[in-house]
């Protein structure tokens, strides 16, 4: 029994590039697969050319735009299994930013923000960012203080994480 692979032209690149349900991008002029590279965020991306202009695209987004209806006009594409390089159509879904963040937190892909306490004042903040804003400081510097990497204080304060 053979299975038919569904292939469609990429929107805006009709007759130039196609993509299949597995995330393989094909250059229709050379009939070759386009080389994919992992970008700095861990997503697979491809360079597509049209009218002597090059543009970079994330493969998961191309798969979703080509094969997955988006009637609610959601702005992000989520990898259901959390693997950023697994770009098969059944592993992708349209999602809002909030839904994507909840999914990442629920599946352990990102850790929930830990609360930060300024030792000298006893004030507790919901995150590094909110603490940094309150003291007109830098979240990275506060994190380094907490984890004993470099300086022990920032803006005259010491910090600790709280549950």
| Per-residue pLDDT tens digits for 62-114 | 999 999 999 999 999 999 999 999 999 999 999 999 898 888 877 778 766 77
pLDDT over 90 for what percent of the chain? 73
Tokens of residue 19, six digits:
């993509």
DSSP 157: B
| Per-residue pLDDT tens digits for 145-160 | 988 877 789 999 999 9
Tell me, what's the pLDDT at 111?
66
- The answer to whether 76 touches 10, Cβ cutoff 8 Å, is no
Tell me, what's the pLDDT at 112?
66
150: number of Cβ within 10 Å? 11
Q: Distance between CA atoms of 124 and 160, rounded to whole angstroms?
A: 9
Q: Distance between CA atoms of 129 and 140, rounded to whole angstroms?
A: 9
Q: Distance between CA atoms of 58 and 42, rounded to whole angstroms?
A: 10
- Of 42-51, 126-135, 146-155, the least confident: 146-155
**Strand partners of residue 159:** 118
The pTM for the full model equals 0.69
Over residues 118-123, the mean pLDDT reads 95
Q: Distance between CA atoms of 51 and 15, rounded to whole angstroms?
A: 13
Domains and CATH numbers, the chain: 7-106 (3.90.75.20), 115-162 (no CATH)
**Strand partners of residue 95:** 76
């Amino acid at each position: 029994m053979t299975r038919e692979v569904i292939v469609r032209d990429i929107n805006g690149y009709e007759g130039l590039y196609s993509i299949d349900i597995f995330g393989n991008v094909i250059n229709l002029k050379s009939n070759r697969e386009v080389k994919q590279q992992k970008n700095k965020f861990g997503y697979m991306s491809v360079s597509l050319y049209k009218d002597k202009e090059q543009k970079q695209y994330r493969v998961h987004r191309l798969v979703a735009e080509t094969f997955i209806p988006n009637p609610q006009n959601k702005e992000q594409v989520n990898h259901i299994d959390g693997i950023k390089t697994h770009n098969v159509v059944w592993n992708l879904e349209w999602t809002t930013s909030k839904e994507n963040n909840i999914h990442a937190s629920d599946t352990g892909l990102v850790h929930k923000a830990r609360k930060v306490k300024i030792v000298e004042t006893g004030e507790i903040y919901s995150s590094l960012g909110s603490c940094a804003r309150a003291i007109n400081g830098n979240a990275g510097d506060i994190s380094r203080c907490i984890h004993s990497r470099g300086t022990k204080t920032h803006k005259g304060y010491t910090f600790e994480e709280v549950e």
